[in-house]
Structures are given as structure tokens and as C-alpha cells.
Amino acid sequence: MSVVELLEENPIIASVKNEEELNLALKSSVKIIFVLFGDIMNIKKISDLIDDHGKVGIIHIDLVDGFVSNREIVISYLKEKTKFNGIISTKPHVLKTAKAYDLIAIQRFFVFDTLSLLNIKNHFVSGVDAIEILPGLLPKVINNLSKNSKKPIITGGLIENKEEVLSALKFGATCISTTKKEIWDI
């Protein structure tokens, strides 16, 4: 299954910030888990748990304590020693390295204003599998990017209910990522 198909078939992604949320996500019906926490001592265990539950784990590499995420050895370690399927990062060179190691690469962007929206278009890494934009309640931005990018659009941040999920999907998001466990089983 391609990354695009995986994202299209799983419109809700659990984003977890701690072990308690991870355990809830593992018990939920979500297939994809974005891991937004961890350190060099527990990251392998986290990836094993996700894999043991038959889920797809994607780690936000910039948020792992103890990793210097811009080093190739970190990507190599993730590929060789963990069961993570991919990474999220804001750093273009890290994403290019992840693709070289055959990992899913998701480029995260924060949209604050028109300038940051233009920056996305200028700093988009062509080889990534998807882009994630935050916050997720930006229908105009979602619509604009979905029309100008052939990559799946994942949106997250501030999405709190079913109506907001449906709105993001309506305006062109492929799927949403959320820490709101109440939404995981929609």
C-alpha cells in the first residue's frame, strides 16, 4: 500500500504526547500514530509497542530528547534499530535523508500569516510523502495547498470535534492528526 493510500484510508491519525496517550491510541481503532515524545532510552520500546499492535508509527524526530535530529546517524538508527515507519520534521535536509533510508517523510509547517504560507511554497521538499500544516483550522490555507500540491495534506492542531474534522477534509485535507482521543474513533 502506498503512503497516499494509507493516509486516504485512515483520515484520523492519533498524535500522542506521552505514554498514557500512546496506550489509549494503541487500544483505539486508529491505524496511524504520530509520536510527539520520547527519548533515546525509550524510543525503541515505543516503536515495538506500536508495531506489536499492528499500527503504523511515525516519530516527530525533532521532539525526541537526546537526538541531534539533523545528523544522518539518527535516521540510520531509526531505520535499523526501531520499527518506526517514518518521521515528521520541519527540517528539509532531515526529510531528504529519511527518504534515502526509505522511511515515510512528512514535512511539518506552521502557518501564522501570509508570509509563512508563502514560505511553505518556497521551502517544500519535493521528495516528501506528505506535508502537515498546523493549526488545522485553516480552510483557506488547506484549500490553497491542496490545489497547489500533489502531496497528501495532513492537518492538525486545534481540531476538537467531528464538524472540524469534516471541514478540514471538505477543504482538501487528506487526513487530520489530533491528540483529542475523543476524535480517534470517529
Distance CA 78, CA 70 (A): 13
- In order along its 186 residues, the chain shows pLDDT tens digits of 899 999 999 999 999 999 999 999 999 999 999 999 999 999 999 999 999 999 999 999 999 999 876 789 999 999 999 999 999 999 999 999 999 999 999 999 888 776 777 778 777 777 899 999 888 777 888 888 888 888 999 998 888 899 999 999 999 999 999 888 999 988
pLDDT of residue 24: 97
Q: Where does 62-115 show beta strands of DSSP type E?
A: 86-89, 104-110
**What's the confidence (pLDDT) of residue 59?**
98
- What domains sit in the chain, N to C, each tagged with a CATH number? 3-184 (3.20.20.70)
pLDDT value at position 105? 97
Report in angstroms the alpha-carbon separations of 125 from 105, 128, 130, 148.
10, 6, 10, 14
C-alpha dihedral sign at 182, 174, 89, 33: positive
Q: What is the pLDDT of residue 69?
A: 64
| pTM for this predicted structure | 0.86
Residue 9 has a pLDDT of: 95
Residues in the chain: 186
